[in-house]
Amino acid sequence: MKRIDFIKLNALAGIGFSVMPFEYLQDNPSKALLTGKHNPYLNTSGVIHKAVYQPFVKMREAALKAGLDIQIVSGFRSFDRQLKIWNSKYKQYQKQGLSDKDIIKKIITYSTIPGTSRHHWGTDIDIIDANVEKPNSDLLLEQNYHGNGVYCKLQEWMQTHAHEFGFYLVYTNNYHRSGFKYEPWHYSYKPLSKPYLKSYLKLNHNDLFNNENVLGKNYLDQNCLMSYFQSHLRGINPKLLP
C-alpha cells in the first residue's frame, strides 16, 4: 500500500512536545476531532497526537538499541484525506462495473469510511523499519512482515515490546476477528485511543455524511452503518475495546 504522506522519522524526532491535561484529552474529545475534521492536539509536524509523541520516541529509542529504526509512514489522516482515498477507490471499482454494495464491501476490506478512521485521532500509526532496504513492492503488505519479509524483525520486536510503551496491534491475525483484514503494521496508543473509541461510539452517526461528497453514501444507510460499526470499528484487538 503506497502512502503519499510518507514521514521521515529524523524530522519527527526534533519536534517538541507541549504538556496538556491528559484527562481533558481523554474525556472531552469533540466530534470534529473524532471524525477527522479538526484535531488541535497534533504535534507541530501534524503526524501524531501530542500525548502520543513521547511514548513513541521512547519506543523508537528502545528499538534502535535492537537495530531497528521505527519509521511512521502514515499517522494522522484528516477527513478530507480519507475522503480522497475513499472516492478514488470508489471510482476505480465503479469503472469495473461493480454495484454500490460490492464497491463498498471491497473498499472496507482495508480502507475506512471517511469520518470513521482511527487515524483521524492521531493515536494510530503505520510503521516500517528504516534500517532495511525498502521492498520493490508496496511497503504495507503482509508478506513484508512475516517469513523472509524485510520487516519481519520489526514485527517480532513490536509483538514483544510495543505494549511496554502503550502501543497495541489493532487488526490482529485472528481468524475469529471481524472487520478489516490483518495489518501487522498498524499500531495504536491504547491510553488515548481506547477512551477516544468509547466517545466515538456514543456519537450520532446518522448525520456523518451530511454535506459531504462521499461516493456511495446513499447506500450507507442506518442499517449498513450499524453493521459496519459492529464488525469493523469493534472488530479490533480486544485490549483496545472500551
Between the alpha carbon of residue 137 and those of residues 35, 78, 183, the distances in Å are 31, 26, 16
Residues in the chain with pLDDT values less than 50: 1-11, 13-20, 24
Q: Which pLDDT score is estimated for 178?
A: 95
Altogether, the residues listed in the chain come to a count of: 242
Q: Which pLDDT score is estimated for 23?
A: 54
Q: Which pLDDT score is estimated for 13?
A: 42
pTM, entire model: 0.89
DSSP assignment of 89-151 equals: HHHHHHHTT--HHHHHHHHTTTPPPTT--GGGGT-EEEEEETTSPPPSS-SS-GGGGSTT-TT
Which residue segments constitute the domains of the chain, with CATH numbers given?
A: 1-77+117-203 (3.30.1380), 80-116+204-236 (no CATH)
Long-range contacts of 23-31 (CB under 8 A, 24+ apart): 25/49, 25/51, 25/192, 26/191, 26/192, 26/195, 26/196, 27/195, 27/199, 29/121, 29/195, 29/196, 29/199, 29/200, 31/203
